[in-house]
Amino acid sequence: MLERSSKVCLICSVLSTGCFNMAKKVLIVYAHQSPASFNAAAKNVAVEVLTAKGYTVEVSDLYAMKFKATATTEDITGDVKNAEHFCYGNETKLAWEEGKLSADITEEQRKVTEADLIVFQFPIYWLSVPAIMKGWIDRVLTLGFAYTPEKRYSNGVFKDKKVMLSFTTHEAESTLSANGIHGDINVVLWPLQNGVLYYCGFQVLAPQIFWAASGVPTEARNAMLEAWRTRLQTLLEEEPLRFSPLDYFDEEKGFQVKPEVLEKHAAQKVGVAVGIHLGMPLPANSQLKAGV
């Protein structure tokens, strides 16, 4: 009886101390050509910290994998349904349903399915992700697997999963401000965070931005990595960013904002979101942190 009681106490102790985190799985989708880069260092810190916390971490090193960036008929094994007028979305949906997607896609979809958190680690290229990572998005997040017309945004397929962008910029933060030469970082992030990640239902955590990582002194880069290390300790406990839920929009009227939503926000000083601003000033930091 004493032995049984000890086992019960041990189980309770494990659960109460947070060791249950061992069940969590993290996927890092990483895109940089050099293992000596700052992006590689940021990826390595994430692997180190999250593994130490008991999480299972997988890394998809896209350049090392020579991941194919182009979405073509090669992504489907066997014949396509309509070779004369090939439609990638429809064809890959059928292939996904029939188990005929190429092996590299199905392997990445397995990783996504198993992950509780996905971290995209990359350098900003032309105010977006590198081509190889865009190819991962195009080819892995297929119709049916990642979204459907019925399952998207707040009703999305991955609404129980968390995701975030972690990236480096070439220039200083001031250049990606509301008055900066490249424009507001909130506007830059909207297509990725709302149009891709939230569209698939993900709970989007605030991005980790390493400003001008290649152009600052070593001490500053080390400080950036230490801040990232600290954030990683409680990353999965963070509140996600807020986006407009699907029920804000009237499907019968072309998914326009409902009159009652317009009325509710009429007296506000800023719009609902960067992309849905209702003709008002853009909300500050809506793509950078929660609680706006």
Question: Which CB contacts under 8 angstroms, 24+ apart, belong to 271-278?
Answer: 272/244, 272/248, 273/190, 273/194, 273/242, 273/243, 273/244, 274/186, 274/187, 274/190, 274/194, 275/190, 275/194, 275/195, 276/244, 276/248
**122 and 38 Cβ atoms separated by less than 8 Å:** no
- How many Å apart are CA 133 and CA 196, to the nearest integer? 12
Which of 6-20, 107-121, 260-274 is least confident?
A: 6-20
Identify the sign of the CA torsion 191, 128, 141, 54.
negative
Per-residue pLDDT of 27-56, as tens digits, reads 999 999 999 999 999 999 999 999 999 999
Residue extents of the structural domains in the chain: 21-240, 242-292
Work out the pLDDT band at 290, boundaries 50, 70, 90: low
Instruction: Note the pTM of the prediction, 2 decimals.
Output: 0.91
Superfamily of domain 21-240: Flavodoxin domain (3.40.50.360)
Q: What is the CA radius of gyration of the chain?
A: 21
- How many Å apart are CA 101 and CA 77, to the nearest integer? 6
